[in-house]
Amino acid sequence: MTKLIFRGTGDSMGVPRVYCRCEVCEEARTTNTNRRYRSSMQIEDREAGTIWIDCGPDWGKQMEQASLIEIDTMLITHAHFDHIGGLPEWADACRWQKKRGVAYAPSEVIQEISARFPWLANQISFQSFDEAITLGSWRVSSWRVNHGKNGYAYAFLFEHRSNGYKWAYCSDSIGLTEDQQKPLFGLDLLVLGTSFYHEPFAYETRSVYDVTEAVELTAKWGVKRTLLTHLSHDIDQRKHYPLPDTMQFANTGLTLTI
């Protein structure tokens, strides 16, 4: 049995944004419905233990909320600050617990992380995630995806070795090529990043799909269920949006058992 638990569903700045007085940020400050930490997910697997996807600057708070003090395996999608800003804090935790952290990331991502935080290698073993790995009963593979004006990120595909269940985590992407879309066809579950409902800005300035694009694409891909993450202050969880039955916004603590 595997449990997927959303620990953060926010965009790069989280919600509320420090400088922002919009309705959604103000609501997040007071009643909390729209409060969002940076995107990350906890995976509890009977065989593989605690796996965590992405280690943003809210990682410490997310661990508190999860009542966890350690994790077994970290998977990292790309080296943007909202996905790696918590690594120094995790490295410190490993140091005090006298254990080495294990993190998997594509090798070009490891290079970027090592350039930025060279001392992390003292506490964390970074292992290449260019080839598929095995975590419990899951075959897990990574592939490069376009991330618009921000360059590239990676998405992860999880395939169960015995029951055939397939799900993917793709938090930061836009303008995927036909090749990059291939792993997304016929998924049982897709966790997809969409920062806005309908992003009004010029395409060249964007870096993540919006909800209207997700609706179209997931229909094309034949995805059975889609959960949206990486949500900015444009998304107000108190509102009703016209979404297909197969799609919903994720929120902190949302848990799925597979």
- The residues binding Zn ion (CB under 5 A) are 12, 80, 82, 172
Please state the closest distance from residue 136 (CB atom) to Zn ion, in A: 26
Please state the closest distance from residue 162 (CB atom) to Zn ion, in A: 33
CA distance 253 to 9: 10
Nearer to Zn ion among residue 8 and residue 101 (C-beta): 8
Nearer to Zn ion among residue 27 and residue 172 (C-beta): 172
| CA angle (188, 189, 191) in 5-degree steps | 160
In which residue are the tokens 């140091």 written? 95
Please state the closest distance from residue 78 (CB atom) to Zn ion, in A: 6
> Which of 36, 31, 30, 41 is closest to 12 using CA atoms?
36
Nearer to Zn ion among residue 28 and residue 208 (C-beta): 208
Nearer to Zn ion among residue 123 and residue 226 (C-beta): 226
Burial of 60 (0-12, 13-18, 19+ CB in 10 A): middle
Q: Which helix (H) or strand (E) holds 218?
A: helix 211-221
Instruction: Tokens for 59, please give them.
Output: 């990682």
Nearer to Zn ion among residue 99 and residue 149 (C-beta): 149
In which residue are the tokens 């001392």 written? 119
Please state the closest distance from residue 79 (CB atom) to Zn ion, in A: 9
**Chain centre to alpha carbon of residue 63:** 15
Please state the closest distance from residue 189 (CB atom) to Zn ion, in A: 20
